[in-house]
Amino acid sequence: MDYRFSDAIANTPKSFIREILKLTQSDNIISFAGGLPNSALFPVDAIRHAAEHVLSRDGRNTLQYSTTEGHAPLRAWIAERYARHGMNVAPEQVLITNGSQQALDLLGKVFLNPGDAVALENPSYLGAIQAFRLFRPQFHSATLSTDGIDVAELQAVMRQHQCRFFYGIPNFQNPTGLSYSATTRQQLATMLQQEQQLMIEDDPYGALRFSGSSLPPVAALAPEQVVMLGSFSKVCAPGMRLGWMVAPAPVLAQLAVAKQAADLHSGYFSQRVLYQYLQDNNLDEHISQISHAYQQQQQAMVAALQQHLPPGIAHTTPEGGMFLWLTLPKHWSATDLFHIAVRHGVAFVPGEPFFADASQRHHLRMSYCTVDVATIHTGVQRLAAAMAEYAAQ
Ligand code: PMP
């Protein structure tokens, strides 16, 4: 049979990370490659209680179809939380999604025609590049550095290519761990307002801050210009597949149409269980446990990197989130290093696929959150050995 696939799917490569992770699934490999939260911190018992509660008290409704926008009390709970950022979000502005990954797909459906321009951070989240790629856009990037996105460059890029939106991750970015400074956020908000441009602000990691003080979302500074994405994946459990979007009313109305066509609504059972969990437990306490654990792990990784890595290799030290980003000497290839590292029993994610134009090969992403402190040390020693072998080639 000759399956006549669409141009869109035929031109979308398989997830590079999924492919590469297949090589790392051996007991002998210490993997810093995963992007998964630490399952030891999932609130299994509390979720079980919540599930029992909703099934025994209101089983029939819980298992029924529901509204496209999502469970109203859950939307209200999410809206109210934004008050801590000085944001005035109405529950009607919240749309529940199947994780923020679905939000990316819905945004593509609502905003992108084939050939339209999209502005990205360079590098950017691989899953967003893949989700948008199905709508066959042109990607244009602006530089991301320790202060965040280069706003002047982004402004020029968005003007020149008439971008439909800018997609950015201002807190503890995947893959670099970098965050935007307060000044960058303000400059970006002003630029979006002046240019009447739209930003997709993806924020799955912002709550996982373990040092420094939290900074306002760009959405708080330019609410008409920003669609904000949030997720329960990193602060509760990704298997629930629940996230949300906060959007200005006219945008939300279109997103709801796209959502209805895609799946009618997100799993009502998950939403009811999650909402019950949020009623019975203090999510902030749970988040501080997660952040504390990740802080210990990050400190262990940073200490090991500083002790073992050869000179000439830089790394970020984020104030939260799940990732560190290493920058190798310019002529190195992280993908070549990856294959040597796997032989030494350690894995990471080569940075190349995070650049929409595949322009830089000398970076890699390290996740610390699923590996215990002692093993982190051993893994980094193995990485150093792999680097020594690479350098000697
Ligand atoms: N955005 C970013 C930046 C991510 O890192 C991830 C998960 N790796 C997602 C979105 C998707 O997460 P989820 O669908 O589980 O909310």
Q: Ligand 1 centroid vs 234 CA: distance in angstroms?
A: 8
How far is residue 43 from each of residues 40, 240, 319, measured CA to CA in Å? 8, 12, 24
Q: Ligand 1 centroid vs 248 CA: distance in angstroms?
A: 22
Half-sphere exposure of 239 (CA within 13 A, CB side): 7
Question: Ligand 1: which residue has its CA nearest to atom 5?
Answer: 174
Q: What is the rounded average pLDDT of the residues 94-110? A: 98
- DSSP class of 165: E
Give me the pLDDT at residue 290, please. Answer: 98
Q: Ligand 1 centroid vs 199 CA: distance in angstroms?
A: 17
pTM: 0.97
How far is residue 287 from each of residues 61, 99, 240, 279, measured CA to CA in Å? 30, 18, 16, 15
Q: Is residue 373 helix, strand or coil?
A: helix
Note whether 230 and 195 are within 8 A (CB).
no
Q: Is residue 141 helix, strand or coil?
A: strand
- DSSP class of 123: S
Q: Which of 37, 104, 76, 111 is nearest to 367 (CA)?
A: 37
Phi, psi of 28 (to 5 degrees): -85, -5
Q: Which atom of ligand 1 is nearest to the CA of 238?
A: 15
Give me the pLDDT at residue 22, please. Answer: 81
Give me the pLDDT at residue 359, please. Answer: 85
What are 201-214's pLDDT values in tens digits? 999 999 999 999 99
Q: Which atom of ligand 1 is nearest to the CA of 103?
A: 14
Q: Ligand 1 centroid vs 206 CA: distance in angstroms?
A: 12
Identity of residue 236? C
Token output for 252 = 């939300």
Band the pLDDT of 19: cuts 50, 70, 90.
Answer: confident
Q: Ligand 1 centroid vs 214 CA: distance in angstroms?
A: 20
Q: How far apart are CA 206 and CA 296, in angstroms?
A: 18
Q: Ligand 1 centroid vs 255 CA: distance in angstroms?
A: 18
Band the pLDDT of 77: cuts 50, 70, 90.
Answer: very high
Q: What is the rounded average pLDDT of the residues 225-254? A: 98
Q: What are the contacts of 183-189 at 24+ separation with CB within 8 A?
A: 183/147, 184/147, 184/148, 184/149, 184/151, 185/148, 185/215, 185/216, 185/217, 185/218, 185/221, 186/221, 187/151, 188/148, 188/149, 188/151, 188/154, 188/218, 188/221, 188/222, 189/218, 189/221, 189/222, 189/225
- Provide residues with CB under 6 Å of ligand 1: 35, 99-101, 125, 127, 169, 174, 202, 204, 231, 233, 238, 243
Q: Which atom of ligand 1 is nearest to the CA of 104?
A: 10
| Ligand 1 site-directed mutation target among 98, 126, 129, 233, most atoms within 8 Å of CB | 233
| Ligand 1 site-directed mutation target among 97, 105, 202, 266, most atoms within 8 Å of CB | 202
Q: For a pLDDT cut of 70, what percent of the chain falls above it? A: 100
Q: Which atom of ligand 1 is nearest to the CA of 98?
A: 14
The alpha carbon dihedral of 118, 122, 126, 128 has a sign of negative
Q: Ligand 1 centroid vs 358 CA: distance in angstroms?
A: 21
| Ligand 1 site-directed mutation target among 38, 125, 365, most atoms within 8 Å of CB | 125
What are 229-241's pLDDT values in tens digits? 999 999 999 999 9
What are 269-304's pLDDT values in tens digits? 999 999 999 999 999 999 999 999 999 999 999 999
Band the pLDDT of 222: cuts 50, 70, 90.
Answer: very high
Q: Which of 234, 236, 241, 218 is nearest to 96 (CA)?
A: 241
Q: Does the structure show a pLDDT above 80 at 21? A: no
Q: Ligand 1 centroid vs 100 CA: distance in angstroms?
A: 6
Q: Which atom of ligand 1 is nearest to the CA of 232?
A: 16
> What's the whole-number average pLDDT of the chain?
96
Q: Ligand 1 centroid vs 127 CA: distance in angstroms?
A: 7
What are 299-350's pLDDT values in tens digits? 999 999 999 999 999 999 999 999 999 999 999 999 999 999 999 999 999 9
Q: Does the structure show a pLDDT above 80 at 18? A: no
What are 145-169's pLDDT values in tens digits? 999 999 999 999 999 999 999 999 9
The residues near 262 (Cβ < 8 Å, ≥ 6 apart) are 102, 105, 106, 109
Q: Ligand 1 centroid vs 204 CA: distance in angstroms?
A: 6
- Helix, strand, coil shares of the chain, percent, nearest 5, are 50, 15, 35
Give me the pLDDT at residue 25, please. Answer: 80
* Residue 281 burial (10 A CB sphere; 0-12, 13-18, 19+): middle
Q: Ligand 1 centroid vs 390 CA: distance in angstroms?
A: 32
| Ligand 1 site-directed mutation target among 231, 236, 322, most atoms within 8 Å of CB | 231
The residues near 306 (Cβ < 8 Å, ≥ 6 apart) are none
Residue in the structure block whose two tokens are 């307002």: 193
Token output for 274 = 């999650």
Q: Does the structure show a pLDDT above 80 at 37? A: yes
What are 173-187's pLDDT values in tens digits? 999 999 999 999 999
Q: Does the structure show a pLDDT above 80 at 114? A: yes
Q: Which atom of ligand 1 is nearest to the CA of 173?
A: 3
